[in-house]
């Protein structure tokens, strides 16, 4: 049938598996091992289901204002979306319309090339160096836009803020997106540069540090002009993306700064302990500033370890891709989950 | 700055106003005047906020299976999204990639031209006839795809299913989207044609008849091949669009068929009474099979009535557009809301 000739064909992207067994240790999708702030459960319990008959605020005002207050920017500098994937996809569609290729690392968040493909955006992927670091000079060439995560995924490697600024200084004519999904776990955010670089878009998410992967909330902060352009595109696709529960309950994840910091302290402490324990077990890894560790074993192939862990209901992430096919991305769980991991790894590697 | 040269410029779409005053009569955005099914409130009260730390099921399985069972199709024939706007936008992006113009009526849901613009899809808009009916023959010409609402919006006019099928018969080579946002209020759904036309996509929503505008749930039903193509595109943009509350609470709006029918009976009875009362007040309107009436007054301009109602905290919708700028779209509310409307209209028009 001729209609098939005009279907937008894409390389079907398969999301990571989301197993759901009571006994499992789930360290495969970088979720937070601790529940959201107590205010979240309270707001959920008090949620008035009758209000669901009404459309939500298309401007997501309550959430935008809360984020603006927390990050000390104006509300018109804040964009919220259905997870940072929605925010990033909207930014790609809005800003990457040049004939020149956009630039992002060869090893990075796998969605960048998928969005580029679906929106027909040309791209080039400069290689990370041997220590999995982004080489800032690779981003000084002419391009149609720049995007990279900081810390990078799935490596966990943090770029110093001074180097982020070097990239910005060399790219005044394109939009530069810094994807900070993992910044809260020990990095320095580029948010402080937003007022000096009107072409800088910083993207963050509630899915990791704020324990809200299930609510689908991401946000971007940048100059009012960048944000307005994204809003115009969003309103041209779906005016009401954030549902009532996301607005009313999500806002509580921002309000409780003390709980937020306490969660981050626990996760980073567990991560640092994990570095010691995994090294003892014979793993090597770049130093991670994220809530995961990207580790290769000195002698046993990653895929073998991945399969053996799965048999014991321990789920980590394995990428069958060039340069990284001997690594495992291990999310930092609770101390108890990690002890279970070390114990099983000890047996597997014995 | 040069980055501005490569921003995707769109005609900024402004969503309809969503006033929120306790005393107002809100008849402007076709929401359901009754709350969602009792099971919705129960599921909301029982919602476990701790599960929010985990990603939702990217396949939205629980909701897809429930809809498949209700509409007696296979689960692989069902696509769910963040309101029918998300579903329709995804369908436009997936299926409308021809150089030939897509076709939709000149007076119709205003988002069609917005999506076409943002995705750079050429389009033509055959005019409705003098009675605001879609002329099926206009859709027999060569085209890149067809989309229309049935009943049409903002007119409320229903196309007989036999004419929908005539359009399908003349368009085997393109995807035909029937947007049934308002079908439950008295129309005959094209769902029964899905098994015979693999190029037919039927789109519906929870926002009107299921009283869930605030939860943002829409869905499409079509051949497994159509749905797979949309899934591939969706997974290439955002794998996790439906949040945990939408999945766990939304499913309850489908389960309670008795409540659903009871709500529809009440709304259609109120609509039929509204036709009598509005006619008495001097309004004319095409016969509506939706949850709104598209009415012009014999002597008083629509804009004047719109402004006068607003002063009394009664909100209806006015479109400042060719051919329809003397009409008001009045959502069917509760009987009490409608009595208030008739009373105030009586004073305004006296």
Query: How many other C-beta atoms are found inside a 10 Å radius of the C-beta of residue A90?
Result: 27
Mean predicted confidence (pLDDT) in B315-339: 96
Chain A from 52 to 71: CB within 8 A of any B CB: 52-58
Cis omega (within 30 of 0) for bond into A151: yes
Q: Indicate the helix (H) or strand (E) that contains A93.
A: helix A83-95
Does the beta carbon of A311 lie under 8 angstroms from any beta carbon of chain B?
no
Which is it for strands A146-149 and A176-179: parallel, antiparallel or unpaired?
Answer: parallel
Q: Which chain B residues are Cβ-neighbours of A175 within 8 angstroms?
A: 3, 6
Q: Which chain A residues are Cβ-neighbours of B95 within 8 angstroms?
A: 3, 6-8
Does the beta carbon of A336 lie under 8 angstroms from any beta carbon of chain B?
no
Domain boundary among B255, B279, B306: B255
B321 is written with which tokens? Answer: 């557009």
What confidence score (pLDDT) does residue A11 get? 82
Question: For residue A62, is it within any domain?
Answer: yes
Q: Which chain B residues are Cβ-neighbours of A229 within 8 angstroms?
A: 7-8
Question: Tell me: the pLDDT tens digits for B15-68?
Answer: 767 788 888 999 999 999 999 999 999 999 999 999 999 999 999 999 999 999
CA distance to partner chain A, nearest, from residue B73 (Å)? 22
Cis omega (within 30 of 0) for bond into A154: yes
Best of A113, A243, A254, A332 to substitute, by most chain B Cβ atoms within 10 angstroms, is: A243
- Rounded to 10°, the helix B111-118/B83-95 angle is 50
What confidence score (pLDDT) does residue A12 get? 73
What confidence score (pLDDT) does residue B229 get? 96
Q: Select the more confidently predicted residue: B261 or B23.
A: B261
CATH code of the domain in which A302 resides: 3.90.1150.10
Query: Are B15 and A145 in contact (CB < 8 Å)?
Result: no
Query: Are B15 and A51 in contact (CB < 8 Å)?
Result: no
Question: For residue B97, is it within any domain?
Answer: yes
- Distance CA(B328)–CA(B131), nearest Å, equals 16
Mean pLDDT across chain B: 96
Both B113 and B66 in one domain: the answer is: yes
DSSP structure class, residue B182:
T
DSSP structure class, residue A181:
T
Question: For residue B8, is it within any domain?
Answer: no
Both A212 and A312 in one domain: the answer is: no
Among candidate residues B332, A100, B188, A314, the one with its CA nearest the CA of residue A306: A314
Both B143 and B224 in one domain: the answer is: yes
Does the beta carbon of A298 lie under 8 angstroms from any beta carbon of chain B?
no
Question: For residue B210, is it within any domain?
Answer: yes
Q: Does the pLDDT of residue B337 top 80, yes or no?
A: yes
Among candidate residues B313, B308, B311, the one with its CA nearest the CA of residue B297: B308
Both B297 and B230 in one domain: the answer is: no
Chain A from 224 to 263: CB within 8 A of any B CB: 225, 229, 231-233, 235-246, 249
Domain boundary among A192, A220, A255: A255
Mean predicted confidence (pLDDT) in B248-255: 96
CA distance to partner chain A, nearest, from residue B259 (Å)? 14
HEC profile of A111-176 = HHHHHHHHCCCCEECCCCCCCCCCCHHHHCCCCCCEEEECCCCCCCCCCCHHHHHHHHHCCCCCCE
Among candidate residues A330, A329, A322, A318, the one with its CA nearest the CA of residue A127: A322
Q: Which chain B residues are Cβ-neighbours of A10 within 8 angstroms?
A: 232-233, 236
Contacts of A40 (CB under 8 A, 6+ apart): A212, A249, A250, A252, A253, B49, B52
Both A263 and A329 in one domain: the answer is: yes
Both B193 and B290 in one domain: the answer is: no
Q: Does the pLDDT of residue B190 top 80, yes or no?
A: yes
Query: Are A49 and B53 in contact (CB < 8 Å)?
Result: no
CA distance to partner chain B, nearest, from residue A168 (Å)? 12
Both B116 and B68 in one domain: the answer is: yes
Question: For residue A50, is it within any domain?
Answer: no
CB contact at 8 A, A318 and A348: no
A290 by Cβ neighbours in 10 Å (0-12 / 13-18 / 19+) ranks as: buried
Which contacts qualify for B255-264: CB closer than 8 Å, 24 or more apart? B255/B37, B255/B39, B255/B66, B256/B37, B256/B38, B256/B39, B257/B70, B259/B37, B259/B38, B260/B37, B260/B184, B260/B209, B260/B210, B263/B32, B263/B34, B263/B209, B263/B211, B264/B184, B264/B185, B264/B209
Best of B2, B8, B98, B170 to substitute, by most chain A Cβ atoms within 10 angstroms, is: B8
Q: How many CB pairs under 8 A join A and B?
A: 275
Best of B30, B49, B50 to substitute, by most chain A Cβ atoms within 10 angstroms, is: B49
- Distance CA(A60)–CA(A62), nearest Å, equals 6
Best of B214, B266, B317 to substitute, by most chain A Cβ atoms within 10 angstroms, is: B214
Does the beta carbon of A120 lie under 8 angstroms from any beta carbon of chain B?
no
Question: For residue A7, is it within any domain?
Answer: no
CB contact at 8 A, B65 and B75: yes
Of residues A118, A214, A241, nearest to B233 (C-beta): A118
What confidence score (pLDDT) does residue A15 get? 73
Query: Are A56 and B145 in contact (CB < 8 Å)?
Result: no
Question: For residue B53, is it within any domain?
Answer: yes
What confidence score (pLDDT) does residue A281 get? 98
Give B13's pLDDT tier (boundaries 50, 70, 90).
confident
For chain A, residues with pLDDT lower than 70 are: 16
Domain boundary among B255, B276, B297: B255
Among candidate residues A184, A185, A206, A191, the one with its CA nearest the CA of residue A254: A206
CATH code of the domain in which A221 resides: 3.40.640.10
Does the beta carbon of B311 lie under 8 angstroms from any beta carbon of chain A?
no
Which residues on neighbouring strands pair with residue B203, listed in sequence order? B179, B220
- Distance CA(A22)–CA(A20), nearest Å, equals 7
Domain count across chain A: 2
What value of ipTM does the predicted structure carry?
0.96
What confidence score (pLDDT) does residue A108 get? 97
Contacts of B232 (CB under 8 A, 6+ apart): A9, A10, A12, A13, B94
Both A219 and A338 in one domain: the answer is: no
Both B250 and B136 in one domain: the answer is: yes
**Domain range for residue A111?**
38-43+55-255
Both A291 and A231 in one domain: the answer is: no
Question: For residue A48, is it within any domain?
Answer: no
Both A141 and A269 in one domain: the answer is: no
What confidence score (pLDDT) does residue A310 get? 96
Of residues A57, A173, A211, nearest to B18 (C-beta): A57
Query: Are B238 and A55 in contact (CB < 8 Å)?
Result: no
Both A215 and A310 in one domain: the answer is: no
Which is it for strands B283-284 and A317-318: parallel, antiparallel or unpaired?
Answer: unpaired
Does the beta carbon of A2 lie under 8 angstroms from any beta carbon of chain B?
yes
DSSP structure class, residue B221:
E
Mean predicted confidence (pLDDT) in B309-327: 95
Mean predicted confidence (pLDDT) in B319-327: 94
- Distance CA(A128)–CA(A157), nearest Å, equals 11
Does the beta carbon of A97 lie under 8 angstroms from any beta carbon of chain B?
yes
Query: How many other C-beta atoms are found inside a 10 Å radius of the C-beta of residue A147?
Result: 26
């Amino acid at each position: 049938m001729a209609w098939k000739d005009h279907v937008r064909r894409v390389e079907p992207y398969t999301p990571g598996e989301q197993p759901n067994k009571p006994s499992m240790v789930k360290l495969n999708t970088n979720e937070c091992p601790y529940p959201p702030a107590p205010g979240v459960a309270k707001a959920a319990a008090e949620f008035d289901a009758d209000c669901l008959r009404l459309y939500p605020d298309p401007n997501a005002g309550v959430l935008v204002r809360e984020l603006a207050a927390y990050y000390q920017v104006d509300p018109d500098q804040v964009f919220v979306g259905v997870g940072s994937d929605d925010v990033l996809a909207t930014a790609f569609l809005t800003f990457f319309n040049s004939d020149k290729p956009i630039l992002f690392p060869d090893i990075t968040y796998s969605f960048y090339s998928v969005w580029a493909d679906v929106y027909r955006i040309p791209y080039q992927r400069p290689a990370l160096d041997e220590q999995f670091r982004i080489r800032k000079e690779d981003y000084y060439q002419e391009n149609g836009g720049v995007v990279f995560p900081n810390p990078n995924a799935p490596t966990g490697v943090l770029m110093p803020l001074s180097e982020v600024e070097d990239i910005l200084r060399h790219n005044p004519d394109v939009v530069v997106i810094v994807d900070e999904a993992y910044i809260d776990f020990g990095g320095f955010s580029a948010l402080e540069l937003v007022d000096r670089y009107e072409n800088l878009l910083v993207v963050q998410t509630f899915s990791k540090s704020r324990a809200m992967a299930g609510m689908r909330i991401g946000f971007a902060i940048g100059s009012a002009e960048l944000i307005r352009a994204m809003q115009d595109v969003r309103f041209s696709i779906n005016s009401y993306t954030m549902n009532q529960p996301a607005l009313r309950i999500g806002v509580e994840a921002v309000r409780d700064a003390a709980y937020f910091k306490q969660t981050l302290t626990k996760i980073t402490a567990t991560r640092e302990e994990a570095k010691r324990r995994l090294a003892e077990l014979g793993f090597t890894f770049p130093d991670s500033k994220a809530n995961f560790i990207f580790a290769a074993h000195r002698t046993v192939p990653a895929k073998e370890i991945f399969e053996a862990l799965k048999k014991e209901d321990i789920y980590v992430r394995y990428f069958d891709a060039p340069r990284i096919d001997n690594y495992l991305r291990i999310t930092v769980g609770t101390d108890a989950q990690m002890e279970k991991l070390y114990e099983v790894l000890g047996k597997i590697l014995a």
